[in-house]
Amino acid sequence: MLSERNKGLPEKRGDMLDFIEMAMSRTDRAILISGSDREVCYVNPAFTTLFGYTLDDILATRPWELLAGPLTDIKVHERAQHSLYGETAFHDDLLLRTKSGDPIWVSARLEPVLDEKGQLTHVVALLADITNTKRLQVLQREVLEAMARDVPLVELMNSICSQVEALAPDIVSSVIAIDNEGRLRPLAAPSLPSSIAEFIDGLPVGEGVGTCGTAAWRGEVVVTPDIASDPAWEAYREPFMRLGIRACWSTPMLMRDGKVTGTFAFYFADERGPSAWHQQIVDTCVHLCGMAIEREEAKSRINQLAYFDGLTGLQNRASLRRRIGEKLRRDTGRRMRMAFLCVDIDRFKDINDTFGAPVGDGVLTAVGRRLSDHFGYQGAVCRLNGDAFIIALEDTDRENAARHARDVIAALLEPVQAADVTLPISSSVGIALYPDDAKDIDGLLRHCETAMFEAKAEARGSYGFYDPEARALNKERLVLGTALREAIALDQLELVYQPQVDGNSGAIYGAEALARWTHPQFGPVSPGRFIPIAEQIGVIEAIGNWAMRTACAQLADWRARGFDVPAISVNISPQQFRNRGFCESVAVCLERYKLVPSDLTVEITEGVMLEETPAVVANVRSLAEMGIRLSMDDFGTGHSSLSLLARLPVTELKIDRSFMDRIETDATAQAVVMAVIGIGQSLNMTLVAEGVETEAQRQFLMALGCAVHQGYHYAKPMSRESFEGWMSGRIARQVRRSA
C-alpha cells in the first residue's frame, strides 16, 4: 500500500520528505504513527500540544493503553483494534485523556500502512480536537432533557447561561424575552447583578434601544464592539460600563412564524466582536432558547384554553375545580367557611335571539368584567357555562353571602353597552355554603346552580340559598327531562280536545288542543309538571310545533269527515313566540292542511305580551295580519297592562278557571270577572270563560254577557275518538229535537 502511494514521487526524494515533515509539523491536527508492533514511533508537535506528551514520553509504548484510560467506550476501543488487526481504516469519535488526566474528545482516523506484500508496517492516526463540539452536544442534550422534564423556563435559561459561560469564560451571557406589548423581559443573566435585570425590564423594543432592543426590533444580529461610542447605548451604557462591560453581541430568537420571541446576548470586558467559537455556541443556544420559549408560550396558550374562558378571560370550571378543589381537600378539619354564588343573566336567550350572538357575547364579556371588578379581589370569579358565572368567596358566612348576592344583583342592574346596543339586564343568584351544603367542589357547584334555578323560578332578579328539598325537586326535573326528551323522540305525547260552547245556542264555538303525556313508568304526568321542564331543557318549541301540526291535521280530518268544528286553539310557549321564524312555520302548517288563518286561534299568556320585545311584537302583528285569531290566556292572573292590550291586535280574552272556583261565593272573584268582561266588551273582544262546571256559573256568566264557555259543565278534555263521539251525540240530539 505504501509502495503504491510512493509512485510518481520526484527524484529529489529528500526534498519531498522535507516538505512532508514541514506539513506534519505545521498542521493543527495531531498525528501519531506506530509501527507494526503498535508501539509509537512518531508524534507531531500538534499531538504534543493537544495531549502534553512528547515523543520521548511515549516512544515504544502502545498508544491505546496510554491515551484511552478508563474514559474510553470499551466497545469503540475494541472496534478500533479489530479494524487495525484486520488492516482496514477506522473512523470515529473517541474520548481520550491528556498527560495531566483531563478528558478530551477527538475525531480519530486510523489508517493502516501496508508494504508491497500486503503486510502491516505502520499505523497512522490523525486526531482532531472536537471537545468543544462535544460539549455543545452535551449542552443541547441536557437542555432537551430538561424541557422533557418540564423544568421551569427561568431555571432552564439560567442553566444554559451558566454552561455557556463555562464553555467561553471570556463572556457573560443573558437571555431576554419579548412580551406581547413589545417590551424586554429578562429571563436569565446569572453573572449580572439583579440591578441590571431591573434596569432592562420593561424597556421597549426599538431602534437605538441598546444592542438587544435594536436586535429585537430589526430581527437580525447586532454587534456593538464599543458600547462607549455607540449612540444606541447613550441612555443605557452607564450601569453596564460600571461593571466593566465594553462590548455586546445580541442575536434575536425567531419563532417559526418569524416573530421575535427574545434575544440571546454575549457581553465582553474588552472592545471586540465575537469569535468563531462564540458563533458556534450562539448558533446552538439561540435555537435551544427559542425552542424553549416557544414551547413555554405554547404551554401558556394550552393552559389558557384549558383553564380560562376564551370569551371573557375569566377562569373556567376546570380552573375553579383545580384551585378551590385543592383548598377544600386540604381542609380536612372543615374549618374554612366559603360561599359559592351562581349568577345567571335573566332572559339571556332573548338577548341572543333578538340582537344576535355578537351582542350576546358583548353582554357576557361586560358582565364578566363587572363581576371581576366588583368581586375578583375577594375571591375567584369564573364563567361556569353559557350565561352562568360562579363567584367563590372565602371567609364568608350565610349573612355575608346574602349581602354579596344583593351586591351582585345591584351591580348587574346597570344597563350594558354591547355592540352599539344599550340593554337593561338583571340576574338571579343561587348560594351554596361550605361545608354546610357540600364538602367538595362538585357538590358546591351543583347546589349553587340548583339554588339559582329555584331563585329564578321564584322571581327573576332575586337570590336564594340551597335547599335540600329543592335538590329533590331538581333531581325529579332531571329524570323527567330525560324521559320527556325520549317521549318526544318516540312520539309518545298526545293531544286531547276540550270543546268551547256558545252558552246561548249550545253550538260549538271551537276546541282547545291540550298536550298530555302518559309515561310507561311514571304514569300520567300533568302539563303543570312537564311544560315548565320542557321550557327549562329547551324542548318546548319542539312540543309547540308538534301540537300545531297535530291540531291542524286533526281539524282538517274532522272537517273531511263531516264534523263541523269552527276553529282549533293551540297554546304557544313564550319561548316559541320570541322566535322570529314562528309565523312562517304557522303559515306552512296552515297551507299543508288546507286551512285558512281564521281556523286557528293562538293562545298566549299575558306575560309574553308584557315583554313587548321586538320579536314578540313583530310576531303578534304578523299573525294578526295573516288573519289568525290571538287569544290572551289566563287574563287577570298576572300584571296585566291595559294599555298594551289596547295596542296589540288581541281578539279574545280567556277568563282563568281560578276565578270560576270562587265566583258563586267570593265577591272579589265576581268583581274581577265583571271587570275582565267589561274590558273585553269595551275592546270588542270575544270572551271565553274557562273552568265552567256548574249551571249557576253558566247563568252568572250569561248575565254578564260572556257567552263562550269551556269546562266540565259541557265536557272534559277528551281523546280524538271521545271528542268525535261527543259531537255525534250532540248532532243526534239536535236531530231528535228538530224532529
Taking the CA of residue 160 as centre, how many other CA atoms within 13 Å lie in the half-sphere pointing to its CB?
36
Query: How confident is the model at residue 291, as a pLDDT?
Result: 84
Q: Which residue has the higher pLDDT, 81 or 301?
A: 301
Residue 229 has a pLDDT of 94
Please report, rounded to a whole number, the percentage of residues in the chain having pLDDT higher than 90. 38
Q: Give 125's strand partners.
A: 32, 110
Of 4 and 707, the structure prediction assigns the larger pLDDT to 707
260-268, strands of its sheet edge to edge:
184-188, 171-178, 260-268, 247-254, 222-224
Mean of the pLDDT values across residues 350-374?
Answer: 87
Query: Does pLDDT of 548 surpass 90?
Result: yes
Distance CA 456, CA 387 (A): 13
Domain 2-129 has CATH 3.20.20.70: no
What integer is the mean pLDDT of 632-651?
68
Q: How far is CA 208 from CA 173, 177, 432, 468, 645, in A?
A: 20, 18, 58, 68, 73
CA gyration radius, the chain:
45
- Across 137-293, the runs of DSSP E, i.e. the strands, are 171-178, 184-188, 222-224, 247-254, 260-268
Question: pLDDT class for 70, splitting at 50, 70, 90?
Answer: low
Question: What band does 594 get if pLDDT is binned at 50, 70 and 90?
Answer: very high
- 653, pLDDT greater than 70: yes
CA distance 359 to 421: 7
Q: Other CB atoms closer than 10 Å to residue 268's CB: what's the count?
A: 21
CB atoms within 10 A of CB 288: 22
d(CA 539, CA 487): 11
Q: Return the higher-pLDDT residue of 652 and 90.
A: 652
**pLDDT at residue 610 tops 50:** yes
- Residues spanned by CATH 3.30.70.270 within the chain? 317-466
Q: What pLDDT band is residue 7 in, cutting at 50, 70 and 90?
A: very low
Per DSSP, 168 falls in state -
Which pLDDT tens digit goes with each residue over 225-259? 999 999 999 999 999 999 999 999 999 998 888 88
Residue 205 DSSP label: P
Write out pLDDT tens, residues 165-214.
Answer: 988 888 999 999 998 889 999 999 999 999 999 999 999 999 999 999 99
Residue 269 pLDDT exceeds 60: yes
- Mean pLDDT for 464-479 is 77
Q: How far apart are CA 671 and CA 701, in angstroms?
A: 12
Instruction: Give residue 186's identity as a one-letter amino acid code.
Output: P
Residue labelled with grid coordinates 288581541: 650
Provide the pLDDT for residue 554. 96
Query: What pLDDT score was predicted for residue 6?
Result: 44
Closest CA to 160 of 286, 58, 48, 52: 286
pLDDT level of residue 561 (50, 70, 90 thresholds): very high
* Short-list 143, 133, 134, 137, CA closest to 290: 143
Are the CB atoms for 652 and 634 separated by under 8 Å?
no
The pLDDT value given to residue 77:
60
Report the predicted TM-score, pTM, of the whole model to 2 decimal places. 0.48
Q: Using a pLDDT cut of 70, give the percent of the chain over it.
A: 90
Tell me the C-alpha distance between 310 and 19, whole Å. Answer: 75
Q: State the span(s) of the chain assigned CATH 3.20.20.450.
A: 480-737
Mean pLDDT of 383-407: 91
Q: What is the CATH number of domain 134-305?
A: 3.30.450.40
Q: Mean per-residue pLDDT for 421-439?
A: 91
> CATH 3.30.450.20 in the chain, residues?
2-129
Task: Please give the pLDDT value at position 83.
Answer: 61
pLDDT bracket for residue 15 (50, 70, 90)? low
What pLDDT shows up at residue 116? 85
Mean pLDDT over residues 306-310, rounded?
Answer: 79
Of the listed ranges 56-65, 74-83, 402-411, 458-467, the one predicted with least confidence: 74-83
Query: pLDDT digit string (tens) for 89-147?
Result: 788 878 888 888 777 888 888 888 888 887 888 888 898 888 778 888 888 888 888 88
The answer to whether 404 and 395 are in contact (CB under 8 A) is no
Distance of alpha carbon 668 from alpha carbon 215, whole angstroms = 87
Q: In one letter, which amino acid is 566?
A: P
The confidence band for 323, taking pLDDT boundaries of 50, 70 and 90, is: confident
Q: Answer with the residue of higher pLDDT: 638 or 615.
A: 615
Helix 131-148, helix 153-167: angle, nearest 10: 170
- The C-alpha atoms of residue 517 and residue 525 are separated, in whole angstroms, by 6
CATH number of 480-737: 3.20.20.450
**Overall average pLDDT of the 646-650 stretch:** 77
pLDDT of residue 4: 44
The pLDDT of residue 9: 44
Query: Is 704 in contact with 687 (CB distance < 8 Å)?
Result: no
Q: What is the pLDDT of residue 192?
A: 93
Three cell numbers at 372?
371581576
Residue 143's pLDDT is 85
pLDDT band at 14 (very low <50, low <70, confident <90, very high): low
Q: Which residues pair with 416 in a beta bridge?
A: 423
CA 306, CA 658: separation in Å to the nearest integer?
Answer: 53
Q: With cut-offs at 50, 70 and 90, classify the pLDDT of residue 80.
A: low
To the nearest whole number, what is the mean pLDDT of the chain?
Answer: 85
Determine the pLDDT at residue 81: 62
Q: Which pLDDT does position 8 carry in this prediction?
A: 45
| Beta-carbon count within 10 A of 704 CB | 17
Q: Does residue 260 contact residue 212 with C-beta atoms inside 8 Å? A: no
Determine which of 151-155, 363-367, 630-634 has the lowest per-residue pLDDT on average: 630-634
Residue 207's H or E segment, with its range, is: none
- CA 287, distance to chain mean position in Å, is 31
Helix (H) or strand (E) holding 51: helix 45-51
The crossing angle, in degrees rounded to 10, of helices 276-307 and 153-167 is 170
Q: What is the mean pLDDT of residues 334-362?
A: 88
Between the CA of residue 432 and those of 383, 401, 436, what are the distances in Å? 17, 9, 8
pLDDT of 335 reads 87
Q: For 396-422, what is the mean pLDDT?
A: 89
Outline where DSSP puts E strands in 130-179. 171-178
Question: How many helices (H) and strands (E) in the chain?
Answer: 29, 26
Architecture category of domain 317-466 in CATH: 2-Layer Sandwich (3.30)
How high is the pLDDT of residue 3?
A: 43
| pLDDT exceeds cutoff 70 at 221 | yes
Least confident of 1-5, 129-133, 219-223, 429-433: 1-5
